[in-house]
Amino acid sequence: MASQISIVKAETQIIEQIKKAQQRDQLADTLKARVLRNETKDFEITQERILKYKRRTYIPPNLEIKGRILEEAYKSCYTIHPGMTKMHWDLKESFWWPSMKRDVTDYMSRYLTCQKVKTEHQKL
């Protein structure tokens, strides 16, 4: 029960961080204005005032938030060291930011274990 409460608390914290970062982001302001003027169908604003792109939470250019999301996705006990493609597809279900695939690739390239596993599975 305590671990479930911790997970909910962590998710709430990251959502609040995203919401605050979106409030300070010029692109998010521009996109929200377009949503309010019905100029886009790809973006929406939730009841919690969070900007989403095709139902995925828009992540502003905030290194701390992106790093936390990437770290959680990589170290989650359910993923068991995903490859770059799998991690990108998993994140893509819930989040969106420009150059997300490149950020995932850069993040994954820092982990030697993942690089070794990938090398061992390639044909020579």
Domain ranges, ordered by start, for the chain = 2-121
Question: What's the distance, CA 53 to chain centroid?
Answer: 12
Residue 5 has pLDDT above 50, yes or no: no
Cβ burial of 105 (10 Å; 0-12, 13-18, 19+) is middle
Q: Sorting pLDDT into bands at 50, 70 and 90, what band is 4? A: very low
* CATH 1.10.340.70 fits domain 2-121: yes
Global model pTM greater than 0.85: no
Span 81-111, pLDDT tens digits: 567 788 888 899 999 999 999 999 888 888 6
pLDDT in tens, 51-85: 999 999 999 999 999 999 998 888 764 555 567 78
Cα separation, 53 vs 95, in Å, equals 8
